[in-house]
Amino acid sequence: MSLPNCRKRASIVDALFYFSVCCLLFIPSTASVASSACLAGQSDEQVRIKYVHDGDTVLLADGRKLRIIGINTPELGRDKQPAEPLAEQARDELRHLLGKTAQVRLRYGIEKTDRYGRQLAHLFLDNGQNISEWLLQQGLAISLTVPPNIWQAECYQQAEQQARRQQKGLWSKKYFRLQYADKLPDTTRGFQIIRGRVERIGHSRSTTWINFNQQFALRILQEDLDYFKGTDFEKLIGKQLEVRGWVQYYKHQLRMRIRHPAAMRILP
């Protein structure tokens, strides 16, 4: 090989090397941009957040109160009741995630307000990070599907399962334990995740009942049955279920309203 040819090939190699380095420098960081699987797809409004009340509720700069769709975080202490485990951490981590600018993009749900008049929306940072997904991944929230706002429900469940497998946050044995239907005290209230075996199914004009025992039952109202199309309720008899929702006490029985199949998981 002649000396001129060597120099020519060396210059080509150098050029390719510098081109590769430049390409790498302009690849977006996956940590800052593409860490979300539950992507927005679209956004309806860009807003600033004035104040973070707790892990799932914020106050916008224009005075609107907003409840984040897809999650439920531990309750802060009020009315002389202590805060639930990790409630303050969920709030503080959300404040830290938002940073000083607190500018986010909203994607509204089909139902835009709840019964308390709060705005309902999914929140995204400018880099595309889905805030609901992030809190779920940290184990600081539980996935919650409330129809008709069911967009990304499956993705949020997957984010929660990731944290559960890793026993992060709420899912560590130190901070969180499941309730069991046959051991529920009558004083059980509020948001719970409960496991138990189905004993029987009942139907009335307005409600389908899934009875674990005489003490605890699930109720699915007629207006929500469309979400359960294809569900053979009778085949649930004898199955172990894990359910999530708010527990109330009525007529000597603990009850939980189930509005979507995402709130009811059949265990192996």
Q: Tens of pLDDT along 3-51?
A: 445 444 445 445 444 444 333 333 333 333 346 789 888 889 999 999 9
Is 2 inside a domain boundary? no
Is 27 inside a domain boundary? no
Q: Tens of pLDDT along 67-117?
A: 999 999 998 988 778 888 899 999 999 999 998 768 899 999 999 999 999
Residues 60 and 112 in one domain: yes
- Kindly list the distances between the CA atom of residue 232 and the CA atoms of 154, 163, 206, 247, in Å, as whole numbers in the listed order: 21, 30, 18, 24
Q: Tens of pLDDT along 147-172?
A: 999 999 999 999 999 999 999 999 99
Q: Which domain holds residue 260?
A: 179-266
Question: Whole-model pTM?
Answer: 0.81
Of the residues 108, 137, 171, the one at which a domain ends: 171
Residues 95 and 153 in one domain: yes
Structural domain count of the chain: 2
Q: Could you say which DSSP state residue 152 is in?
A: T
Catalytic residue of the set 64, 75, 95, 255: 75
The answer to whether 88 is a known catalytic residue is no
The answer to whether 78 is a known catalytic residue is no
> If we measure between CA atoms, which residue out of 164, 166, 194 comes closest to residue 258?
194
Residue 64, both tokens: 């609107």
- The Cβ-side half-sphere exposure at 212, using a 13 Å CA radius, reads 24
For residue 241, what is the domain's CATH number? Answer: 2.40.50.140
The answer to whether 195 is a known catalytic residue is no
Angle at 171 between CA 100 and CA 38, to 5 degrees: 55
Residues 253 and 167 in one domain: no
Question: Going by C-beta distance under 8 Å and a sequence separation of 6 or more, which residues neighbour residue 186?
Answer: 215, 249, 254
- Distance in angstroms (rounded) separating the CA atoms of residues 15 and 253: 76
Catalytic residue of the set 64, 88, 95, 118: 118
Across 155-187, b (16+ Cβ under 10 Å) vs e yields: bbbbbbebbbeeebbbbeeebbeeeebeebeee
Residues 166 and 199 in one domain: no
The residue-averaged pLDDT of 229-241 equals 95
Indicate the average pLDDT of the chain. Answer: 86
